[in-house]
Amino acid sequence: MPYSLRPSHVLAGTMIIFGIFSVSVAAAKNATTLIVTVKVSAYYSFSAVAGALGGLIAYSTFSNLQNVYGMSSWQWLFLIEGIPTIFIGLLSFAMLPDYPSTASTKWLTTEEKVLCVERMNVNLEKKDVSFDYKQFKAGMKDYKNWMTALISLGLHVPLSSLLFFMPTFVKSMGFSALTSQLMTIPPYAFAFVAIIVASRTADITMQRGYHIFVLSITAAFGYILVFIPSLWAKYCGTILATMGVYGALPIVGQAFQF
């Protein structure tokens, strides 16, 4: 009898795999904090790009591929998004370097390799990393750590809600199910711009706190607009909320490094 994956097994297995990768990061020995926000923003900006492209792909798929070759449009959506992901993952296994010193000249020149290694060596912490209960206790009593946790909570809760429920939010405003997929593109497009611009100015001015404050206020104002009955006020609020949350994400992450 063929084995069928149960939903509980898939969800639990996904969590276990993610946990394994998360725990494995603790084995890293050459992490460096000398990474400016604008570089980190390039990584985070792809989340906004993925959101915009996801809406466009979903709109095109549901519009044109229903019952093509006997498959539903939602089945095509998983194929279209899943197959390139597998292909890129396989390429990554073959192409990504493990360390700057072992990278090929296609990735880094000799001078760039030396610079990367020197930067990590200078910035590596060489302190005692053994567990000290007194230090742990002092850290738990430090209000700044709790404020950091509160800031992270306030950022990632709305981030997750936008990430997973954006089409549902837009559809609830009165758009059709198909149109709502297309209307998710502008919020993510504006979020992409906010990430790049805010991260760049935060690095130039070295004023991360002010940028986090302004972006947080922008997001809060956007969420307030969502409660206004007007459809377009709700939609503009969604754009502002997405800009504020996504724009603050890389800045908050780097602010905690210093």
* pLDDT tens per residue across all 258 residues of the chain: 445 667 677 778 888 887 887 777 666 665 555 456 667 777 778 888 888 888 888 888 888 888 888 888 889 988 998 898 899 888 888 777 777 777 776 777 888 888 877 777 766 655 556 667 788 788 888 888 888 888 888 888 888 888 888 888 899 988 888 899 889 999 999 999 999 998 888 888 888 888 889 999 999 999 999 999 999 999 999 999 999 999 988 888 776 665
| Lookup result for tokens 């591929």 | 65
**Residues sharing a CB contact under 8 Å with residue 151, sequence separation 6 or more, in sequence order:** 212, 252
Structure tokens, 102: 């072992």
DSSP 8-state symbol, 29: S
71, β-bridge pairs: 68
Contact 41, 195 (CB under 8 A): yes
In this predicted structure, what is the pLDDT of residue 225? Answer: 94
Contact 201, 211 (CB under 8 A): yes
Give the separation between CA 220 and CA 229, rounded to whole angstroms.
17
68, β-bridge pairs: 71
In this predicted structure, what is the pLDDT of residue 1? Answer: 41
**Residues sharing a CB contact under 8 Å with residue 122, sequence separation 6 or more, in sequence order:** 34
Structure tokens, 156: 């990632």
Specify the amino acid at residue 224: I
Give the separation between CA 163 and CA 238, rounded to whole angstroms.
12
DSSP 3-state of 68: strand
- One DSSP character per residue, 152-180 reads HHHHHHHHHHHHHHHHHHHHHTT--HHHH
The overall pTM is greater than 0.85: no
3-state helix, strand, coil in the chain (%, to 5): 75, 0, 20
CA dist 131 to 134, 135, 142, 233, Å? 9, 8, 17, 52
DSSP 3-state of 206: coil
129, β-bridge pairs: none
Give the separation between CA 32 and CA 14, rounded to whole angstroms.
29
**Residues sharing a CB contact under 8 Å with residue 178, sequence separation 6 or more, in sequence order:** 59, 62, 63
